């Protein structure tokens, strides 16, 4: 069931954004480009910004696109790591120090029997980001990835 990998990540994330945060779709390309152009700035979006604004302090709340790129990036790295038995921690560090993969990088196959762990990990990330629908999203991510289905919702 392996297909051409070019653009698969992008397609998966775009499909998830279209499903759960459709208002972000018009800016999807802009946000994606910014995420990969400045990963540090993207990571800082999860932190409180120490400056007052019109509505008080910006407590740190990344966009759904930003979150999904982080989740998918982490999962793909994890998938590769899980595929290698032994030396897991060392490899995790090695992969962790590598540059973030780009949106056009291939999406690896979802590791067999890893659905539950992936779901829990995704839900954990999303809950920490304050998403109330974390479980639903994690379910959809794992489902789409395992089926390699990135058809946009109707």
Partner 1 sequence: MTTAVRSRRVNPFLLPAATTSRFVLLVTIMLAAAGTSADLVAGGPSRWLEPYIACDRAADAAASAGGSADALAVTYMDCLRGVGLDRALVGLCAMALVAVAVGALYFARPRLTIRRQHLVPADPVVHAELYEAVARAGLPGRQPALLLDVNRRSSGGRAFGHVGRRYVRINIGTLHQARRSGDREELDALVAHELAHLRNRDLDLTNLTLATCWVFGGLVALPVLVYTALFQQDRLVDLGLRTLGTAVVIAALTTAVLRLREHYADVRVTTPADDPPGDDPLGGGPLGDDSPGRRPRRLRPLARHPSDQERAEIVRDPGVLMRWMPAETFGAGIAAGLGTCHLFETTRLWLDGVGNWERTALQLAGLVYGVPVAAILVAGAYRAALLALAEGRRPPRGGLAACALAAGVMVGLVAAPSRMSRPWAESAAASPGAALIMAAVLLALCLLFCRWLAATATSWLPVARARTLTPVYLGALGPAALAFGLWLGAWIEMTVMALDTRNVVNGLSALFAEFFDAALLTGLLGALLYPLASWLRYRGDEPARALHLDTDVAAGLPAVRIRPLVALAPAGLVLLASAIVEAVTPLPAVSALIAGAADGTTGTQYDALLMRLAALVGVLVGVTFIAAVVVAVAVGGRAMLGPSHAVLAALSSAAAAIGVLVAPVAVEVCATTPGCGAITPARQVGIVLLVILAIGVPVSLAGAGLVGAAGGVVRMVRRREVSVAPPRPPRHWLRRVAAGVAGVSVAMWLVFAVLSWLGQNGFLDDSSGSPTTSAASKVPPPGPAGARTARAACPAVRTLTVPSMVREDYRLNWAIDFARMAESDRPFLVAVGRAGYPRSRDHHGEIVHLTRAVGQYCVRT
Chain positions contacting partner 1, by CB under 8 A = 21, 23-24, 26-27, 30-31, 34-35, 37-38, 41-42, 44-45, 49-64, 66
Give least dist CB 152 to partner 1, A: 18
Per the listing, tokens 């590769």 go with 80
- Segment 8-11 long-range contacts (CB within 8 Å, at least 24 positions apart): 8/106, 8/107, 8/148, 8/150, 9/72, 9/76, 9/101, 9/103, 9/104, 9/105, 9/106, 9/107, 10/103, 10/104, 11/150
All residues at 6 or more sequence positions from 95 whose CB lies less than 8 Å from its CB, including other chains? 77, 80, 81
Give least dist CB 39 to partner 1, A: 9
CB 44 within 8 A of CB 35: no
Please calculate the CA angle 39-44-45 and round it to the nearest 5 degrees: 100
Give least dist CB 44 to partner 1, A: 8
What is the rounded distance in angstroms from the CA atom of residue 131 to the CA atom of residue 125?
Answer: 9
Give least dist CB 27 to partner 1, A: 6
DSSP type of residue 99: P
Give least dist CB 98 to partner 1, A: 20
């Amino acid at each position: 069931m392996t297909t051409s990998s070019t653009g698969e990540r992008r397609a998966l994330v775009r499909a998830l954004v279209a499903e759960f945060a459709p208002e972000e779709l018009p800016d999807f390309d802009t946000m994606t480009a910014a995420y990969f152009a400045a990963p540090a700035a993207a990571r800082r979006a999860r932190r409180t910004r120490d400056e007052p604004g019109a509505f008080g302090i910006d407590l740190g709340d990344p966009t759904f696109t930003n979150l999904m790129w982080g989740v998918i990036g982490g999962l793909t790295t994890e998938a590769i790591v899980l595929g290698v038995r032994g030396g897991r921690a060392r490899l995790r560090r090695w992969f962790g120090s590598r540059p973030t993969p780009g949106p056009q990088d291939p999406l690896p196959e979802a590791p067999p029997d890893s659905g539950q762990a992936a779901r829990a990990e995704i839900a954990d990330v999303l809950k920490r980001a304050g998403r109330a629908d974390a479980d639903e999203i994690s379910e959809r991510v794992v489902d789409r990835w395992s089926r390699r289905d990135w058809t946009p919702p109707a």
